[in-house]
Amino acid sequence: MSRNRTSPLMLWLTLLAALVLTVVPLPALVQPFRPPFMTMAIIYWCMMWPSLCGLLTAFVAGILIDILYGSLLGQHALALVVVAFLVLRFHLQIRIFPLWQLTVTATLLMAVDSFFVFWSDGIAGHPVGGIERWTPVLAGGIAWAPVMALLDNLRLRAENRRRRFS
């Protein structure tokens, strides 16, 4: 019996793409509006494939972001692990939401991620507040539907290709 599962390679390639999109330099005018691509990818894969993308994946992704940003080690890892835990805990309920509810849920999860980064910045003595903290969450909420459609398309194409060659 063949299993109709996406290749783990697709997961790692999309997480690598999200990591690149997270750290690629942008002009100063556009920088505050960069969606949290890694958080969006973790939300999607924890929701769609919880057996492979879990807390360890979120932790490693967060540590990589911390290293590449030069931020407090574990700051983004903590935030992504909390988001991944919430998605894994409720992934069966979240998956059946209509798109507008899924977008609101993903936006709230991105806000949780941003809050934990903000909180750890405050504890470390590097508080950054204002609009710069929350514009990525709004941009992520706007970008969620197209990003989810793209990831769905990639996942379904990989499943069909794998099914065809099995």
C-alpha to C-alpha distance for 105 and 130, rounded to whole angstroms? 23
108: which residues sit within 8 A by CB, 6+ positions away?
none
Pseudo-torsion of CA 14, 17, 23, 24, nearest 10°?
-160
Instruction: Locate 125 and state its tokens.
Output: 């003595």
How high is the pLDDT of residue 4? 46
- 125 or 142, greater pLDDT: 142
Nearby residues of 9 by Cβ (< 8 Å), 6 or more positions away? none
In degrees and rounded to multiples of 5, residue 48 shows phi and psi of -90, -30
Q: What pLDDT digit, counting tens, does each position of 88-112 carry?
A: 999 999 999 999 999 999 999 999 9
What was the pLDDT predicted at 2?
43
CA dist 26 and 96 (Å) reads 35
- Mean pLDDT for the chain? 91
Q: In three state form, how does the secondary structure of 81-121 look?
A: HHHHHHHHHHHHHHHCCCHHHHHHHHHHHHHHHHHHHHHHH
pLDDT confidence band for 159 (50 / 70 / 90): confident
